[in-house]
Amino acid sequence: MGFAVLSSKRYVLIIKRIKQKKKGDLEMKKFLQIHVLTSYPPANLNRDDLGRPKTAIVGGTTRLRVSSQSLKRAWRTSNIFEQKIGGINGIRTKRFGETIYKTLVAGGVKEKLALDWTRSIAGSFGAIKSDKEKFPNNLQIEQLAFISPEEQKAALDLANELVEKQQAPTESQLKLLRANNSAADMALFGRMLAKDPSYNIEASVQVAHAFSVQKIVVEDDFFTAVDDLNEGMEDQGAGHMGDTEFASGIFYTYINIDRELLLENLRGCGDQAPSVWKNAIEGLVECIAKVAPTGKQNSFGSRAYAHYILAELGDQQPRTLSLAFIKDVGGDIIQESIQKLEGTKDRMDKSYGPCSDESFVLNVISGKGSFSELLQFCVKE
């Protein structure tokens, strides 16, 4: 990204850091890599189009899989992340136009004008659906758009201004997209705007699909439901019958965070960027450790905390340790999976040289490390 969109203060900071790098005095390690092992009981965390748990063929055997999209969605919308960030989040939606429309109508704008003006405002974030769509669908944009708090405020402020002046928005007023945003979730996970790619945000976090370290077989759960008002005199059968599919496993998940890019993406926070940066990393790491996808949770109660986390800091090229589980794990799955992960890390370091400058291990099984120490490690400079 060019310096043209940066504040003069940020430009000076970048130049300062470049000079520090030349001296070998780095202000922070660029990459935070996190390797996670989490054991889930029988569950259906992430379903395919047939309702079955998602799977993948790894090393010639079938493994359970949870997609990165499912993981990121669960983390981004969790109470943990919301509380840690303090509400500085964007919204990903097609339906922001409905909010604009209600604001205009509540302000006394006639319905036809409100519809036209809403389509103009919402159109700033993406192509609007056809006029042939029925209300309120014709207020929606075609694709999900990630909208920052600054952009939401600008759109609502414009709507209120139109109410006051009772006139259509001008072309200049409809320039609602912002290059500098404060939304922590957008800074972490990025955004793509087909409407205007110049306002795209490159994600500072890369999340691999989680997969089970052992081979699995998806099983069927046949269930029935009883009609509470059925006294059994005539109809002694169930009121409902159905089946759902499930499996269990220990999942390996890999996450890479570009901490420098995250700070750059938070330039809209101004002087608060360092504290938001810290909260964003701590919030994400806590979600990684504690938050599970919500699929079928009411049926399986499959919430789990990670039992092993390896965090690494360094400027070296990131790499996954999924090689450890190309051959499925058997026997003592918990201990063997940890040993394979740590062994693969050591052998990579031996072959390539240290793949990180320092690391920290949280191992619930052996009692090594604490979660508070892990968080301190992840945000250290």
Give me the tens of pLDDT residue by residue for the chain, a chain 381 residues long.
333 444 445 445 554 554 455 444 447 899 999 999 999 999 889 889 888 999 999 999 999 999 999 999 999 999 999 999 887 889 999 999 999 999 999 999 999 999 999 999 999 999 999 878 888 889 999 999 999 999 999 999 999 999 999 999 999 999 999 999 999 999 999 999 888 899 999 999 999 999 999 998 888 878 778 888 777 766 677 777 777 888 899 999 999 999 999 999 999 999 999 999 999 999 999 999 999 998 888 888 889 999 999 999 999 999 999 999 999 999 899 999 999 999 999 999 999 999 999 999 999 999 999 999 999 999 998
Query: Would you state the pLDDT for residue 134?
Result: 87
* H helix or E strand, kind and range, residue 147: strand 145-147
Task: Of 124, 113, 120, 187, give the one whose Cα is nearest residue 151.
Answer: 124
Look-up: residue for tokens 């790894």? 58
Q: State residue 327's pLDDT score.
A: 96
Indicate the burial class of 112 (C-beta count within 10 angstroms; 0-12, 13-18, 19 or more).
exposed
260 phi and psi, to 5 degrees?
A: -65, -45
What is the distance between the terminal CA atoms of the chain, rounded to a whole angstrom? 23
Q: Give the residues across from 350 on adjacent strands.
A: none
Per-residue model confidence (pLDDT) at position 26: 41
Q: Work out the angle at residue 176's Cα, subtended by the Cα atoms of residues 174 and 177, and round it to the nearest 5 degrees.
A: 135
- pLDDT the model gives residue 22: 46
Contact 45, 265 (CB under 8 A): no
How far is residue 222's CA from residue 98's CA, in Å, rounded to a whole number? 42
